[in-house]
Amino acid sequence: MPSLKDIKRRIKSVKNTQQITKAMKMVAAAKLKRAQDEIVAARPYAEKMLGLIATLASKTSPDSHPLLASTGGNRVAVLLYTSDRGLCGGFNTQLLRITERFLREHGDSEISLYLIGKRGTEYFKRRGIKTLKARPIGSGRPGYSSAVEIANDVISAYLKGELDEVHIIYSQFKSALTQTPVSQKLLPISTPRTEETKEEADQGEFLFEPTEGAVLSSLLPKYVEVQAFRALLETSASEHGARMTAMDSASKNAAEMIGALTLKYNRLRQAAITKELMEIIGGAEALKG
């Protein structure tokens, strides 16, 4: 049975841990607010860009630009976004699980990984899967320049014929309690035609100025950049939300543990006091006799 001193030391240790988890929760909450504002502001632009590309793609031939044309090969790259740090619940585990499932489903393809975030890099380091590039996601606010570098890397490899498909896996931010892993094909660009894009496409013929090739050469790389940037923002907001939730849960668990240990400490202390009193009374009775 642990002594009173051991229990007291453990209570102090749990309280110190609770102070850390509370501080991390507050920091994550502050970062989440900023990250949430950024992703809410970026989504309309990304969705409108998707709609524009869908409309243009419906009016052009897949052979009009290399980023629209499918090569039919089996060299597939996966662009995986994870966090650099842990202590965010099952955030990274969900992303790694969906990536593993993707690898199993495409077992007959030649898979290579483009890893963004140290957690993904550490996980796949010893699994024998070809890695195109690995880079940290960064602790600061996601920058558009990082998305441009990522997009340029995958576009360059695709245009050189080194890749036949590029898929992107990231965590879509829903709320502080909900983050949903998303897997979608990035290259070749193939966008679903919604009712809105069908109406826009049916309104009339498009006139491309200066040329169809020049317009697509300008818009399609920009589309890849925007999707890479959106994935950065979504992942950043999801990470902060998951960490805030995890630290809140850890703080509550610490409070429950402190309560249980304090109750145990008081019971043992009361038992020790009662024992001492009984010994004193017994000694006094013995002296009387």
Asked whether residue 119 falls in the same domain as residue 16, the answer is no
The pLDDT assigned to 62 comes to: 72
Asked whether residue 253 falls in the same domain as residue 224, the answer is no
Asked whether residue 121 falls in the same domain as residue 235, the answer is yes
Asked whether residue 180 falls in the same domain as residue 154, the answer is yes
Q: How many domains does the chain have?
A: 2
Q: Is residue 88 part of a domain?
A: yes
The pLDDT assigned to 23 comes to: 92
The pLDDT assigned to 269 comes to: 85
Asked whether residue 220 falls in the same domain as residue 277, the answer is no
Pick the catalytic residue: 56, 88, 113, 228? 88
Indicate the pLDDT class of residue 166, thresholds 50, 70 and 90. very high
Asked whether residue 186 falls in the same domain as residue 263, the answer is no
Indicate the pLDDT class of residue 79, thresholds 50, 70 and 90. very high
Q: Is residue 209 part of a domain?
A: yes
pLDDT of 241 over the 80 cut? yes
Asked whether residue 279 falls in the same domain as residue 206, the answer is no
The pLDDT assigned to 87 comes to: 86
Indicate the pLDDT class of residue 82, thresholds 50, 70 and 90. very high
Q: Is residue 108 part of a domain?
A: yes
Domain of residue 14, residue span: 4-22+246-284
Asked whether residue 112 falls in the same domain as residue 253, the answer is no
Mean pLDDT, residues 197-225: 70
Q: Are 68 and 62 in contact (CB under 8 A)?
A: yes
The tens digit of pLDDT for each residue in 42-78 reads 888 888 888 777 777 767 777 777 888 777 788 999 9
Asked whether residue 183 falls in the same domain as residue 61, the answer is yes
Q: Which residues neighbour 234 within 8 Å (Cβ) at sequence distance 6 or greater?
A: 39, 170, 171, 172, 173, 182
The pLDDT assigned to 204 comes to: 53
Give dist(CA 17, CA 11) in Å, integer.
10
CATH number of the domain that residue 72 is part of: 3.40.1380.10
Helices marked H in 60-105: 91-105
Asked whether residue 56 falls in the same domain as residue 100, the answer is yes
Q: Is residue 289 part of a domain?
A: no
pLDDT of 238 over the 80 cut? yes
Compare 193 and 79 and report the one with higher pLDDT: 79
The pLDDT assigned to 257 comes to: 92
| Amino acid in the structure at residue 142 | P
Q: Is residue 27 part of a domain?
A: no
- Whether 84 is a known active-site residue: answer no
Phi, psi of 202 (to 5 degrees): -85, -5
Asked whether residue 236 falls in the same domain as residue 103, the answer is yes
Mean pLDDT, residues 12-34: 90
